[in-house]
Amino acid sequence: MSELFVVGISWRTAPVAVREKLAFRDDELPGALQAMTAELPVAEALLVSTCNRVEVYGVSRPGADPTGPVRAFLAQQRGLVPADVADVLYDHRGGAAVRHVFSVASALDSLVLGEAQILGQLKTAYGVAGEAGTSGALLGRCLERAFRVAKRVRSETAIARGAANVSTVAVDLAKRVFGSLDGKSVLVVGAGKMSTLAARHLYASGAHHIVVTNRSPEKAEALATEIDGIARPWADLEGLLVEADVVISSTGAREPILTRPLFKRVTKARRWRQLVVIDIAVPRDAEPAIGDKVVAANLAERAKAAEHAARIVEHEAGQFEHWMRAQGVVPTIRALRERFARVADAELQKTLDQIARRDYSAAQQREAIQRLVQLIVNKLLHQPTIALREAPPDEAGLRAEVLCQLFDLQPIAPGEPRDAGEVDDAGDPPREALREPQPAQARGLAEPAPSERKAVT
């Protein structure tokens, strides 16, 4: 049977210096997903890569445990030795995987509790998996349910109050350092999604001198125009750092752009004036030697809301687990229904043919239909009865108990009265219930008079 699983790394298990080594660019995701489902025992897969987590949500092939191969795959895709990241990777299967996905979607597993950004990131990752052809029925059902759970958590709890995402928290951190951003020079490095969110919040928070720099002048100009800021060339980065009071950096660079030698020169030129640098990029824009800024806020204030949200997630995950378990017996239910239908259809057709050939009266038709019902019951119960009677002594009681549960039965002791037509101990219906309709003369039925004959409809 196929099973949901999760393999990943997050801010809980590894610092950003390690997480960034396993990060995937957006353009790398489709190829990685297709390789995973082609080369590993993975039937469905989604890959979410953000500043705080890199995770695979997937469905195993029947009977397989893909968590080990997926762990190795993630490392090898980034040119790493699997053993080097084994301690920081985690995996979940079955119900634990469902709870993890629901918790992530609801921002209960986020660095900033209740942040709104992760839900959009999951939806984007789901869309990428769909376009890559690696998302199927079970994974899709899980993600769609996770999105509904997240919506319920946000509407029924106060967990979303406060900082909405990492970009917002970064701005709040700068405000706590300076008290107010009024009169401060703010430099936004990068013009992607995270930088744009931060720039918008800076503008809304009272920062009136915002400078944007980016490798693409067009993107820098567009963002600067939106926030009434100033776009400056990428080549001026060092000078801009000298002038700024606050730097928020989030680019897509694979190597650090804010290096230690650069900061030595900047610090000297600034004459040791305070500079707040907040790096929210993955991979990091600033070298580790400069310092690792971890932004988090409002955790204590939202702890109570988190407890309520966790109860919602637990309830919803339990319901989804129940649905998944039910899917395991669906093939058996279908086979049972089809077998019963085949038996009923075959016996019905025989009886209809018999009635049509012999031109039965209404009374004879009723008798034939009664016999048909008993024949169907006999055929359906024959195999279960044999299996029960021939069961080994150590299994007979359990089989009988299961049958009683499945068919809501109350066992009848030997000698107790039975309903007419009830199947006897040997598995055969009583003889009187199976007697053939007596045919005319030789078969024991009087030939009906023409006036008694009725057409079969």
Taking the CA atoms of 78, 84, 87 and 88 in sequence, report the sign of the dihedral they define.
negative
* pLDDT single digits (tens) 310-353: 999 999 999 999 888 877 776 777 888 888 888 888 888 888 88
Residue labelled with tokens 């917002």: 168
Of 18-32, 145-159, 325-339, minimum mean pLDDT range: 325-339
Higher pLDDT, 35 or 181: 35
| b/e sequence 106-130, b meaning 16+ C-beta within 10 Å | bbbbbbbbbbbbbbebbbebbebbe
- The confidence score (pLDDT) of residue 375 equals 86
Cβ–Cβ < 8 Å for 24, 32: yes
pLDDT band per the 50, 70, 90 thresholds, residue 126: very high
Instruction: State yes or no: pLDDT of 426 exceeds 60.
Output: no
Instruction: State yes or no: pLDDT of 440 exceeds 90.
Output: no
What is residue 92's DSSP assignment?
A: E
Tokens representing 297 are: 């806020």
- The confidence score (pLDDT) of residue 1 equals 78
Instruction: State yes or no: pLDDT of 428 exceeds 80.
Output: no
Mean pLDDT of 278-302: 60
Instruction: State yes or no: pLDDT of 215 exceeds 90.
Output: yes
Of 179-193, 264-278, 430-444, minimum mean pLDDT range: 430-444
Mean pLDDT of 268-291: 79
Tokens representing 4 are: 């949901």
Instruction: State yes or no: pLDDT of 437 exceeds 60.
Output: no
- The confidence score (pLDDT) of residue 176 equals 74
* pLDDT single digits (tens) 97-114: 999 999 999 999 987 678
Choosing from 51, 107, 143, 231, which is the catalytic residue? 51
Question: For the chain, how far is it from start to end, CA to CA, in angstroms?
Answer: 48
48 pairs with which residues across the strands?
Answer: 55
User: For this structure, is 51 an active site residue?
Assistant: yes
- The confidence score (pLDDT) of residue 133 equals 97
- The confidence score (pLDDT) of residue 223 equals 94
Cβ–Cβ < 8 Å for 285, 195: no
pLDDT band per the 50, 70, 90 thresholds, residue 75: very high
- The confidence score (pLDDT) of residue 417 equals 64
Mean pLDDT of 236-242: 96
- pTM value? 0.56
Higher pLDDT, 398 or 451: 398
Domains contained in the chain, CATH given: 4-162+302-320 (3.30.460.30), 166-290 (3.40.50.720), 359-452 (no CATH)
Mean pLDDT of 68-94: 96
Mean pLDDT of 23-47: 97
